[in-house]
Amino acid sequence: MTQVYDEEPTSGFVSPDDILKADRFTDFSTVSSRGYSLLTRAKRHGRWWMLKGLKEQYRQDTVFRALLQKEYEITSQLQHPMVVSVFSLEEVGELGLCIVMEWVDGITLKEWLTQGKHTKKQRRHVADMLLDALAYVHSRQTQHRDLKPSNIMLTHDGQHLKLIDFGLSDTESHAILKAPVGTEGYMAPDGPSDIYSLGCILRELHLGRSSCMVVRKCCAPLRCRYTDIPVIQRDLHRCWLWPRRLLLIIGLVIVLASIFLLNLTHTQGEIRTVNDSLKVFKEENKAKILSEQEKTDSLQLQMNQIADQRESEKMAIQRRQDYINEAKRKIDQQMQAYGIQQMMDTVRCQRNITIPFLRIADELIRDTKDPELIEYIQEHYRKPWLRRMSELPFD
């Protein structure tokens, strides 16, 4: 007896019909239709995709199909977080040949700029992301050639950026479709230039007055324009840091000035203290000098008095000497008037003859009160007479 089991789906297996059905795109919705391109959002494998195809009137045109093929070849070589990812080029039902790329859930930079007031920090963050994306694209020898706010996607919070729409991009390896293209207002007068377009976008971002020099150089004539994105990044960062550095320098100057003023105040206080000390020292020295001067004057006065006294004594001595000399002269004259010396030398008389002469000498001594004159008379007259008398013979 054959047992019959109820048919149930086999676990772990998916039927081929389910696989084919899952590979199909569903839930189509047109996102944009401009130029020759048609952008459609569709769902496959449970996620949303962006399909870039051609409008119906261009789908069989070989030139536009070649443009789509070129865009796919260029974009598929770019693998960067801030460049839209391209996965395949395939025929999609009624849409025809389409580029299958990631769906970016956000808004264009053009819409973001019109949403309201954004901080300078947010704008500079967007500029940084755009510069990073463009630097990578250029490092792959690729030119976007249609850089503008509507070809830049931002997430709703403004924290992530995607560079999109490489329909007019070009590389050195491609030799077809080289015509100069771009969007008016973002295309340089001398031809397509990503750096010129970047300068226009940076101007719209209003990054601050310090960034104006970099923006002007981006939009300058070809001979004066930047040629390298990293140089633009470096100059922008320097411009952004300069106000902070200036504030830091000003703050440092203020701190140093404060320290200097404090030191100056302290120094001035010390100077005043030193000046006061010097003033007291000068006053004390002045008093000492005055005291010493008084002492010196007193000593000088004493010395002058001593000198005057010595001079007076000298004059007194001189007067006395003159007096003694004059008195001696008078005594000598008086004695000579008596002829005593001649008589003493020539007399041969008796001893009693000399006695009157002794009396004369004694009278002179008695009349003279000065000891010096008395001694003079004794030495010059009386003693010689006494010696003479001792020599005379006795009768």
* Residue 357 tokens, joined: 């002469």
- What local confidence, expressed as pLDDT, does residue 8 receive? 47
* Model pLDDT for residues 151-172, shown as the tens digit of each residue: 999 987 778 999 999 988 888 7
Torsions phi, psi of 253, nearest 5?
A: -60, -40
- For residues 9 and 20, is the Cβ–Cβ distance under 8 A? no
Could you identify the residue written with the tokens 């000298």? 314
Q: For residues 351 and 343, give the distance between their C-alpha atoms in angstroms, rounded to a whole number.
A: 13
- What local confidence, expressed as pLDDT, does residue 201 receive? 94
- What local confidence, expressed as pLDDT, does residue 384 receive? 81
Coil/strand/helix, residue 211: helix
Coil/strand/helix, residue 60: coil
- What local confidence, expressed as pLDDT, does residue 9 receive? 47
- What local confidence, expressed as pLDDT, does residue 343 receive? 64
- For residues 144 and 166, is the Cβ–Cβ distance under 8 A? yes
* Residue 283 tokens, joined: 């006053």
User: How many angstroms separate the first and last alpha carbons of the chain?
Assistant: 230
* Identity of the residue numbered 189: P
Length of the chain: 395
Could you identify the residue written with the tokens 């300078």? 120
For residue 351, the 8-state DSSP code is G
- For residues 153 and 161, is the Cβ–Cβ distance under 8 A? yes
- For residues 131 and 232, is the Cβ–Cβ distance under 8 A? yes
Q: For residues 346 and 329, give the distance between their C-alpha atoms in angstroms, rounded to a whole number.
A: 23
- For residues 352 and 393, is the Cβ–Cβ distance under 8 A? no
- What local confidence, expressed as pLDDT, does residue 125 receive? 93
* Residue 5 tokens, joined: 């089991």
- Tell me the sheet residues that pair with 170: 143
Q: For residues 239 and 211, give the distance between their C-alpha atoms in angstroms, rounded to a whole number.
A: 6
Helix residue ranges per DSSP H, the chain: 16-23, 62-75, 109-114, 120-139, 194-205, 212-218, 229-338, 340-346, 355-367, 371-377, 383-391
Q: For residues 31 and 50, give the distance between their C-alpha atoms in angstroms, rounded to a whole number.
A: 9
pLDDT in tens, the chain (395 residues): 444 444 444 444 445 454 445 678 999 999 988 888 899 999 998 899 999 999 999 999 999 999 999 999 999 999 999 999 999 999 998 899 999 999 998 999 999 999 878 899 999 999 999 999 999 999 999 999 899 999 999 987 778 999 999 988 888 777 555 566 778 888 888 888 899 999 999 999 998 888 899 999 999 998 999 999 999 999 999 888 877 677 778 888 888 888 888 888 888 888 888 888 888 888 888 888 888 888 888 888 989 999 988 899 889 889 888 888 888 888 888 777 776 666 666 654 444 455 677 777 788 788 887 888 888 888 887 888 777 777 766 55
* DSSP string of 129-190, one letter each residue: HHHHHHHHHHHTTEE-S---GGGEEEETTS--EEE---TT-EETT--S-------TTTSBTT
